[in-house]
Amino acid sequence: MTNTHQTLKLVATDLDGTFLRNDKSISKENMETLHCLGEKGIWRVIATGRNLKKTKEVIAADVPFDYIVFSSGAGVYDLKHEKLVHHQNLSVQITQQLADFLIQADLNFHLFKPVPENYKCWYYRGSVSCTEFESYFDYHQSHAEPLPSDGKIDSEACQFLVVFPDKLDRFLALKNEIEQRFPEVKVVRTTSPLETGYIWMEIFHQSVSKGNGVKYVCDILEIGHEYTLGIGNDFNDLDLLEFTNYSYIVDNGPQEMKERFLPATSNEENAFARAVRSYL
């Protein structure tokens, strides 16, 4: 990789399981690499499934990132100017139709309010108890309220989160049915951050992805795809890694993704710093 540092202009990283250590701290090496990127005029972007509020809970004001692509690309935030520069919600009509579909399917789900208020959510309990749903509810209940009893939402929404036992066939069948019925949306698979083996189904507007969020930042800054590097750890990073030119999957990521992207060490072994420093 000779002279690649001359062409690298933007680095985008996932947070949990990638940039952050398992205890949500930032290693000295990763922090030093962020500063080094800034000194060389290379833009630093977070691309996370976290909402903006939860991102700021683990990224302090003195951590030198430039942009946050949050909620898997549903919003883009300019840290320097402290302003939301882009967002994409589900329409009122699609939100209502999807909620009706999931209720009829008797599934447990959360429905997150429109960006930028999407740290708040509605919830719906199906008739089959789900320990993963209850664990997430306990974690999030201070910002949650039950879906209206009449089922009428009358609001845009950022996303749906449906909690599944680890049954991939069932997930894929429902994903296929939803995307056929509702071409305006996309269904994303992600691994439970609660580390319980459950599959989470996230449903967004069709245009929402970490890759499109980072592309939006690149368009603002007039940076071509060929000058970008991305690093991630899970299936919800797929669009990001397909967009960036130099794309890394950490060692703690899924095996099937390791076959497609460049290898990095684990998030506990400074994957971000080690991947990026070879370009500096």
Using a pLDDT cut of 70, give the percent of the chain over it: 94
Q: Are 52 and 116 in contact (CB under 8 A)?
A: yes
**266 — pLDDT class (breaks 50, 70, 90):** very high
Q: Which of the pair, 194 or 272, is modelled with greater confidence?
A: 272
**167 — pLDDT class (breaks 50, 70, 90):** confident
pLDDT surpasses 50 at 187? yes
pTM assigned to the model: 0.87
Q: Are 160 and 202 in contact (CB under 8 A)?
A: yes
Q: Which of the pair, 171 or 240, is modelled with greater confidence?
A: 240
Q: What is the 8-class DSSP label of residue 222?
A: T
Query: In sequence order, what are the beta bridge partners of 47?
Result: 69
- Taking Cα atoms as reference points, which of 69, 22, 41 lies closest to residue 268? 22
pLDDT surpasses 50 at 222? yes
The reported pLDDT for the residue numbered 143 is 84
Where are the CATH 3.40.50.1000 domain residues in the chain? Answer: 4-87+209-277
Where are the CATH 3.30.1240.10 domain residues in the chain? Answer: 92-205
In whole angstroms, give the CA distance from residue 127 to residue 129.
Answer: 6
In CATH, the architecture of 92-205 is 2-Layer Sandwich (3.30)
Q: Are 280 and 36 in contact (CB under 8 A)?
A: yes
Residues 6 or more apart from 247 whose CB is under 8 A from it?
Answer: 229, 230, 231, 240, 241, 261, 262
Helix and strand element counts for the chain (H, E): 9, 14
Tokens of 265: 């060490």
Task: Please tell me the CATH superfamily of domain 4-87+209-277, with its number.
Answer: HAD superfamily/HAD-like (3.40.50.1000)
**42 — pLDDT class (breaks 50, 70, 90):** very high
Query: In sequence order, what are the beta bridge partners of 159?
Result: 112
Element (H, E) at 238: helix 238-243
